[in-house]
Structure 1
Amino acid sequence: MASKTIIFITGANTGIGYEAVKAFLSSSTPYHVFVGARNLEKLETAINSFGDTGIHKLVPVQIDLLSDESIVTAFKQVSSEVGYIDVLINNAGAATSAPPSRESFLQDYNVNVAGTYTVTDTFLPLLIKSSAPRLLFLTSGLSSFEEVTKPNPRFPSPPAGWPKAPTPTWVCYIASKAALNMVMINFARILKNDNVKVWCISPGFLATDLGGDRERLKAMGAGDPSLGGTFIKDVVEGARDEDVGKVIRRDMVQPW
């Protein structure tokens, strides 16, 4: 049997991360997946739900993006079991439900930008040892500067005067994801001569717990999270190698 492609993915006990692991298990390519999540009990429940993994191997890894100690501990666990990883998938994220404030902005930035950066920086010594390293960051379709500056009837400008209606809570989330896009660009630059293929993955409007009530999101037209999981697998397996260094959607390159 061919050697397994080794993956470390964060935030994989639910949503798109969970669906990505499921997609890897459906592949004819053998995978060794370190499945990361903050809550180890929920993570083990998620892994057990997959049943027989066949040619693949799943290993639970507890990791909290708000804790540098947790990130280092996760790195030590992975590096003690393998000498390298082929793919790092930064899937874990946060979206505050509180109105925009210093606290809520810092909450989303701490996970989506600072935490994700720290995970990547910590695991790079393992990633660059791969013969075909890949680095993925999960971003948002609403992180496109070009698109959000266009008129949108869903988000009209309020009448003149003050006070204004409350700013949507998702402003903190999309601002942090726009910053994450810049983090990706920087990693693509500094890892170019290490032959690391780097992307931001924009999975589309999907019904996940991160966005709130799944049924409400489905009623608004959100797709199934499995679409995002399959997309991630396809990128790992080479489907979008021509779009390295970009923010990619399932059917196009996302405008900056």
Structure 2
Amino acid sequence: MADKPIILITGGNAGIGYETVKALYASPMASTILMGSRSLEKAKSAISTLQSEIPNAKSEIVPLQIDIEDDASIDSAYKEVESKWGRVDSLINNAGGSFDPVMLQKPGAAGIREAFDHSYSLNVTSTHVMTHTFAPLLLKSSEPRLLFVTSGLSSLETCAEGRNPSFAQPIPAGWPKPPAMSAVAYRSSKTGLNMLVLDWVRVLKVDGVKVFNISPGFLATNLGGMGAEALKKFGAGDPSIGGTFLRDVVEGKRDEDAGKVIGKDGIQPW
């Protein structure tokens, strides 16, 4: 590709998104990285930090205000990207969240509805709207890649076989059951995302788009509001692991695994 690749990542100012931008920015392969963020100020601050840490980068980072739960925000971002660059070579659907703690804070129906509704709104519906809106720009690329970020907790096969840590927790008989942080709303939404990815694989195959479902592993981000340090105590790895992994996928190092759920060490069952 003669021009620098245009890479758009949602939720790029924090967590795995930030580490992905950092890995791409430090790469010897030059690119234009569009750091999507709900807050333009937070994006600019994150970019300033990266520029000070990596002074001789070959790439450039551009802040892009985008809230994937806001259709007007998505449309505005689309118009900006279309007018300035005319295409997107890699779209990384990274923005997502976990809202299961709400069910502990609000026991009963209200908490369940809030946790599930927000999880599906952000992780499934809004991700689908984002992809649907930007698909025309992705199809203008000569080497289009579409990435989604799922979870190791989303695999039906893994859960059915009892290999998910949540399924190893002893459950006492009787009702009510004691409260537990099993992340069921988050897990369910990411399983829903997996089905969404399968459909995008089907829809875009004829257009030559390489679609990936990324399972970055258990990493110490602020997902769910627990905090990185708390997650490290449970064995979570550094978020930079996920950033490096996503960069490798964007740069074509896992192209043979397109259409699958991939982790840095292999294939994850659906």
TM score, norm. by length of structure 1: 0.96
In structure 2, what is the equivalent of residue 251 of structure 1? Answer: 265
Q: Which runs of structure 1 show a deviation greater than 4 angstroms over 4 or more consecutive aligned residues? A: none
Q: Higher mean Cα deviation, 208-217 or 242-251? A: 208-217
What is the CA-CA distance between 1:173 and the residue it aligns to? 0.7
More helix by share: 2
What letter matches 2:189 in structure 1?
S
The 5 Å alignment of 1:1-256 reads 2-51=2-51, 52=55, 54-96=57-99, 97-99=101-103, 101-151=112-162, 155-168=168-181, 170-211=183-224, 212-256=226-270
Whether the 8 Å contact between 1:98 and 1:169 is mirrored in structure 2 is no
What is the CA-CA distance between 1:42 and the residue it aligns to? 1.0
Distance 1:221 1:114 in 2: 31
- Cα deviation, 1:91-120, whole Å, max 9, x if unaligned, reads 000111211511210101100001100110
The aligned length equals: 256
What is the CA-CA distance between 1:49 and the residue it aligns to? 0.6
Aligned with 2:232: secondary structure?
helix
Aligned with 1:60: secondary structure?
strand
TM score, norm. by length of structure 2: 0.91
Distance 2:25 2:33 in 1: 9
Where in structure 1 are there 5+ consecutive unaligned residues?
none
Whether the 8 Å contact between 1:3 and 1:30 is mirrored in structure 2 is no
What is the CA-CA distance between 1:169 and the residue it aligns to? 5.7
What is the CA-CA distance between 1:2 and the residue it aligns to? 4.8
What letter matches 1:138 in structure 2?
V
What letter matches 2:44 in structure 1?
E
1:53/1:45 Cα in 2 relative to 1: closer, same or farther (>3 Å)? Answer: farther
What letter matches 1:88 in structure 2?
L
- Cα deviation, 1:171-216, whole Å, max 9, x if unaligned, reads 1111111100111100010000100000110000000011422111
What letter matches 2:69 in structure 1?
L
Distance 1:234 1:225 in 2: 15
Q: Higher mean Cα deviation, 131-140 or 166-175? A: 166-175
Where in structure 2 are there 5+ consecutive unaligned residues?
104-110
| Identical pairs, percent | 53
Q: Higher mean Cα deviation, 14-23 or 209-218? A: 209-218
Distance 1:159 1:224 in 2: 34
Whether the 8 Å contact between 1:38 and 1:63 is mirrored in structure 2 is yes
